[in-house]
Chains A and B, each alone.
Chain A
Amino acid sequence: QVQLQESGPGLVKPSQTLSLTCTVSGGSISSGSYYWSWIRQPAGKGLEWIGRIYTSGSTNYNPSLKSRLTMSVDTSKNQFSVNLSSVTAADTAVYYCASESSTVTGRALDYWGQGTLVTVSS
């Protein structure tokens, strides 16, 4: 069973870049069966899809974040990452990584990390 774990700073200063990494275990990030996704959730609010990356490096981003967003994948470490630049307090949220199956569950997000809180504050 695939397991995901987010890691990265819990506090980022305004105007700086938020960087998070998701480590995948129990399966290969290169398997080709998944898109690797990021979702965030401000406290007490709903879920916002940030974007996804395929093992080839192909990406799809949320247009509302696209100008500040970069995703990458490191197959040697079985990890994928997200960078969000020029952050403001509005980017404070719990950030989740998740896998989107391209086969078994019809493009649903079937495995999730536990989430990591990122606070943007000086």
Chain B
Amino acid sequence: DADVTQTPRNRITKTGKRIMLECSQTKGHDRMYWYRQDPGLGLRLIYYSFDVKDINKGEISDGYSVSRQAQAKFSLSLESAIPNQTALYFCATSDSQAGSLSGNTIYFGEGSWLTVV
């Protein structure tokens, strides 16, 4: 099983609808992230959370909101989806313990393909 699980993996939704992408992790990491990938634009950070009470906007947060329900869960919502939010969305996690072997490495989920029509 994947350490970082995203649901749904694929979704087609209509303009104006609310959609939530969920992410859960079993890695025990304190930090979680949402990125979006667009052709030609690479990956861009939407929101990140360093712990349950610490949520920060990334470079493209407009039109999105997040919720960190628990250390292991971080969901991304599009309150009113629009076509230019069609993209591949990635949840990611990292361990803030710099001294650990995996410290500060960002691990990605399998991605969620979202199409807004």
Q: Do A and B bind each other?
A: no
Instruction: State the A residues within 8 Å of B (CB).
Output: none
